[in-house]
Amino acid sequence: MSLLAQGVLAAENPVADFGNDNGWVVFGKALFIFVFLVLLTLLTIWGERRVVARMQSRPGPNRVGPFGLIQGLADGVKLALKEDVIPKAVDKLVFVLAPIISAITCFVAFSVIPFGPAARIPFTDIVTPLQLTDLPVAVLFVLAVAAVGVYGIVLAGWSSGSTYPLLGGLRSSAQVISYEIAMGLALISVFLYAGSMSTSSIVAAQEHGVVREIFGLDLTMPAWFAVQLPVAFVIYVIAMVGETNRAPFDLPEAEGELVGGFHTEYSSLKFALFFLAEYINMITVSAIATTLFLGGWRAPWPLSAIGGGMLNEGWWPMLWFIGKLLGFIFFFIWLRGTLPRLRYDQFMRFGWKVLIPVALVWIVAVACWRAANSATIAADGTTRIVLIAVGIALLFAIFGALITGIDRADRRDAARHETPPDEVDPFAGGFPVPPLPGQRLIRSNGIGNGRDDDARRPALAAAGEADEEVHGG
């Protein structure tokens, strides 16, 4: 069983060459990204309403423009014309700053996303990469920008000077920072495989499939990191839904609990900025997933073979990129139409106790796998076998620890929760509570709520007193 080398590591530096870009080209690219994102946001809002409507067997918006396409624009104009209310209790500067931070950061992250390889701008001789810029640490840059974007949420929640936004802001920021960790950890294995943090290099690293000899068969592994690193991909996709506060992880905006979440007090254009930021964030994380895991702008497999890679050159790649992006956006909408919202503690536990440990184990496994395939160790058969045995033993140990840990937690839970009493008075605490499964209801009409003076008095007499609490019944 010989495993071939993993292919030459791409250079750490970006492969895209921005040498030909003059000021106008840079400006044009920036403008393009801005217009692209705003238009795609309008389209996404429309698409979301239509698709969710179809999933719920209703037509959705279909009055404004063909298929209701202009609905998003109409809503935007309506929002802009509303009165901009700034409540009295707010911290004014921070209150205004928060939506601006949100909106700016979500645009900035897109500057390192490659839309395609070098292409000639029509009617000129300028050949330039279809990407605003690239850095050797571009993905780190995206993560840093996302981290700054959290401030928009935190500050909006706090500066509103109101309870629901505060709770929404707290939830939101806790959620974003928790899932950012899992997200960052999921990206590390991509860095290990691509040998770079530059987006153009990562796309380049997904060009050729790796040929592996498995049980005597030469198999070309698909080059997409989603296939090579499936665990990292799944973790990233879950974390990106959590990071963008989208259903089923939209707890910060749980309408039934928190009104509107952190933006409850916002109106008019400031609210529109938050709305815009939410959708652009969704597009940004989808673009990152496309770039890092789905081969970026590269044509999918059967298409990439046509005409000797013709479809991977010029302006074609933009089509594949946008197609993959829309696929992710549809996935987001699909999730929203399908899954109910998680409870907060389930959500946090899932992030911290499942996603992050799995991501950590996965990184160690990937690092070991790469080291085992490196030239020095691969040459030595005994070392390899010993290492593999150690690895398998470690895996068993981890699973064993996991299972015993769960067992113990269950037993502790069972010990802590003594069986509930057979009968329950739903008004014992002064407000109605539902019975647990198997419990019998008894009615006391508020008598016996633990307050002795009340309990001794007949209900009619109690109702006549100054104590006007109504216990119902």
Partner 1 sequence: MTALDVVFALFASTAAAGALLAVTSRHVVHAALWLVLALGSLAGVYLVLAAEVVALVQVLVYVGAVVVLVLFALMLTRAPIGVRADLDAAPGRRRVAAVAGLATSALIGGTLLAAIGSTAEVPAGDGTASALGSATFTGWVLPFELLSVLLLAALVAAIAISRGRDADTPGLDDLAPGGTADRADPGAGSAAPAPAAAPAPATPAAPSRAVGPDGTS
**Cα torsion at 26, 29, 31, 37 (round to 10°)?**
-140
Under 8 Å between Cβ of 136 and 14: yes
The residue to which tokens 């400031």 are assigned: 270
Binding status of residue 267 toward partner 1 by CB under 8 A: no
- Rounded Cα distance between 95 and 351, Å, is 30
Segment 153-192, which members bind partner 1 (CB under 8 A)? 154-155, 157-159, 161, 166, 169-170, 173-174, 177, 180
In angstroms, give the least distance from the CB of 52 to partner 1: 25
In the complex, least distance from residue 157 CB atom to partner 1, rounded to whole angstroms: 7
Return the residue of 233, 249, 271, 350 that touches partner 1, per CB under 8 A.
Answer: 350
| CB-CB neighbours of 351 under 10 Å | 22
Ordered DSSP codes for 412-439: HHHHHSPPPPSEE-TTTTSS--PPPTTP
Q: Does residue 265 touch partner 1 according to CB under 8 A?
A: no
DSSP codes joined into one string, 66-114: GGGTTHHHHHHHHHHHS-----TTS-HHHHHHHHHHHHHHHHHGGGG--
Q: Which of 133, 206, 291, 449 binds partner 1 (CB under 8 A)?
A: 449
Buried b (16+ CB within 10 A) or exposed e, 403-413: eeeeeeeeeee
What are the counts of helices (DSSP H) followed by strands (DSSP E) for the chain? 18, 6
Site string for partner 1, 10-49 (x = CB under 8 A): --x-------------------------------------
- Structure tokens of 303? 């298409």
Query: What is the footprint of partner 1 within residues 419-438 (CB under 8 A)?
Result: 419-421, 423-425, 428-429, 433-434, 436-438
259 binds partner 1 (CB under 8 A): no
Q: Is 150 in the site for partner 1 (CB under 8 A)?
A: yes
Pick the closer one to partner 1 by CB: 345 or 468: 345
Tokens of 8: 């030459």
**Residue nearer to partner 1 on the CB measure, 48 or 243:** 243
Taking CB under 8 A as the rule, does residue 455 contact partner 1?
A: yes
Question: Residue 231, interface with partner 1 (CB under 8 A)?
Answer: no
Question: Residue 225 is encoded by which pair of tokens?
Answer: 């990191």
Please give the helix or strand (H or E) that residue 118 lies within, else none: strand 116-120
What DSSP character marks residue 43? H
Number of residues that bind partner 1 (CB under 8 A): 78
In the region spanning residues 74 to 113, those forming contacts with partner 1, defined by CB under 8 A, are 89-91, 94
| Contacts with partner 1, 118-147, as mask; x by CB under 8 A | -----------------xxx--xx-xx-xx
Closest CB 256 distance from partner 1, rounded Å: 14
Binding mask 280-319 for partner 1 (x = CB under 8 A): ----------------------------------------
Residue 347 near partner 1 by CB under 8 A? yes
